[in-house]
Amino acid sequence: MAELVPVEAWHDRVAAARAEGFDYLWNLTAVDEIGRSDHIRVVLWLRRGDEELRLDALCDRDDPHLAGITDLFAGASWLQRQVHDFFGVVFDGDDNRPLLNHAGGAPLRKDVLLPARLETRWPGGIEPGQNQASPGRRRLVPPGVPAPDVLANPDATPAEIATSAAGTRMGRSR
């Protein structure tokens, strides 16, 4: 079971968990909550022996900030930089230099268009016996790439954007 921690209490709650004996940083990552809420969920797993503690924080997707915890767990530095690289979460007071993604942007956010996926043929792009010019077929959208017409639609909801990025067949927008 996860404990939802308010963003402003993140550092204090992690410090309290460490004081309670949860002194093993197991993982730190993020999840794009688009379609459910306008947040990026940062997830931290800590361990005390065989006992596990999961702490979640919901950062505003428009300006995601969270207090850094490297003063509590030095190993969090690499994980925080990875979350910053791929989800755009800024860890206040800590190192936010690019670790892996030097191209910029936040490619693991579901509302980010991945041009390379659109420009490169991918193995599931067409079905057996179908060619690129097959008439009357709905376009098969690659997983992780929101449909361009959905992204261009100013009335598209976060749920529609998330659905269009799921790798499903998309009908025409109405």
The answer, yes or no, to whether residue 94 has pLDDT greater than 60, is yes
At the topology level, CATH places domain 2-92 in Beta Polymerase; domain 2 (3.30.460)
Q: How confident is the model at residue 78 (pLDDT cuts 50, 70, 90)?
A: very high
Lowest mean pLDDT among 43-47, 85-89, 99-103: 99-103
Say how many CA atoms lie within 13 Å of 160 toward its Cβ: 16
What Å distances lie between residue 109 and 3, 86, 144, 145, CA to CA? 23, 7, 9, 10
**What residue ranges of the chain are covered by domains with CATH 3.30.460.80?**
2-92
Q: How confident is the model at residue 129 (pLDDT cuts 50, 70, 90)?
A: low
Phi-psi region of 61 (alpha: psi -120 to 50; beta: other; left: phi over 0): alpha
Per-chain mean pLDDT for the chain: 83
Lowest mean pLDDT among 48-52, 91-95, 146-150: 146-150
Q: How confident is the model at residue 83 (pLDDT cuts 50, 70, 90)?
A: very high
Beta strands in the chain (DSSP E): 2-4, 24-32, 39-48, 51-60, 65-67, 90-92
Q: How far apart are CA 126 and CA 146, in angstroms?
A: 17
Q: How far apart are CA 65 and CA 71, in angstroms?
A: 17
